[in-house]
Amino acid sequence: MEENLKRVLRTPEVLFIGINGVVGGGIFLLPGQVAGLAGSKALWAYLVAGIIAILIGLVFAEASSMFTRTGGSYVYAEEAMGKAVGFTVGWMGWLTFVVGWAALSNGLVSYLAALVHGIAPYKNLIIIVVIALLCLLNSLGVRKGSWTILFFSVVKLIPLTLLIIIGLVHFVAANAHTGNVAVAHDFGKAVLVLIFAYGGFEMATIPAGEMVNPRKSVAIGIIGTLIGVTIFYMLIQLAASWLDPTLSKSTAPLADAGKAMFIGGSTVMTIGAVLSIFGTKSGIALSSPRILYALSFNRTLPSVFAKVWPRFRTPVVAIWTTGYNRNFHTPNSSQRGSTLVRVLHGLPVRTHTAFPAEGCESIVQVSVWHSHSACRCSALHLASDARSWQSALGSAHRSCSGPHPVCTRQGYTEAGRISRNDCPPQRLQGIGGICAPDFNFFTSPDT
CA 73: distance to chain centroid? 15
Tell me what pLDDT residue 333 has: 38
Backbone φ, ψ for residue 419 (5° rounding): -150, 150
pLDDT, tens digit, 9 for 90 and up, residues 38-97: 888 889 999 999 999 999 999 999 999 999 999 999 999 999 999 999 999 999 999 988
Tell me what pLDDT residue 250 has: 78
Per DSSP, the three-state class of 226 is helix
Q: Is 116 left (phi over 0), alpha (psi -120 to 50) or beta?
A: beta
pLDDT, tens digit, 9 for 90 and up, residues 296-325: 998 889 989 999 999 999 999 999 999 887
Say which DSSP state 184 is in.
P
Identify residue 146 by its one-letter amino acid code. Answer: S
Tell me what pLDDT residue 184 has: 58
What is the distance between the alpha carbons of residues 21 and 57, in angstroms, rounded to a whole number? Answer: 14
Whether 35 and 46 have beta carbons less than 8 Å apart is answered as no
- The contacts of residue 293 (CB under 8 Å, 6+ apart) are 70, 305, 306, 315, 318
Mind listing the domains of the chain with CATH numbers?
A: 11-317 (1.20.1740.10), 338-438 (no CATH)
What is the distance between the alpha carbons of residues 248 and 253, in angstroms, rounded to a whole number? Answer: 8
Whether 291 and 72 have beta carbons less than 8 Å apart is answered as yes
What is the distance between the alpha carbons of residues 304 and 49, in angstroms, rounded to a whole number? Answer: 41
Say which DSSP state 438 is in.
G
Task: State the sign of the Cα–Cα–Cα–Cα dihedral 270, 273, 277, 283.
Answer: positive
Backbone φ, ψ for residue 420 (5° rounding): -85, 130
Question: Could you please report the per-residue DSSP string of 74-101?
Answer: HHHHHHHH-HHHHHHHHHHHHHHHHHHH
Which of 211, 206, 214, 261 shows the shortest CA–CA distance to 236? Answer: 261
Identify residue 83 by its one-letter amino acid code. Answer: K
What's the residue count for the chain? 447
Which of 325, 289, 312 shows the shortest CA–CA distance to 90? Answer: 289
Tell me what pLDDT residue 174 has: 61
What is the distance between the alpha carbons of residues 378 and 443, in angstroms, rounded to a whole number? Answer: 12
CA 145: distance to chain centroid? 17
What is the distance between the alpha carbons of residues 199 and 226, in angstroms, rounded to a whole number? Answer: 10
What is the distance between the alpha carbons of residues 390 and 396, in angstroms, rounded to a whole number? Answer: 10
Identify residue 341 by its one-letter amino acid code. Answer: V
* pLDDT digits (tens), the chain, 447 positions: 678 899 999 999 999 999 999 998 778 878 888 888 888 888 999 999 999 999 999 999 999 999 999 999 999 999 999 999 999 999 999 998 888 888 888 888 888 887 888 888 888 899 999 999 999 999 999 999 999 999 999 999 999 999 999 988 877 666 555 544 555 578 889 999 898 889 899 999 999 999 999 999 999 999 999 999 999 999 999 998 888 888 888 777 888 888 888 888 888 888 888 899 899 999 999 999 999 999 999 888 998 999 999 999 999 999 999 988 765 544 343 333 343 433 343 333 322 333 333 333 222 233 333 333 333 333 333 333 334 434 544 554 444 344 333 332 333 222 222 233 333 333 333 323 333 333 333 333 333
Rg (CA), the chain: 23
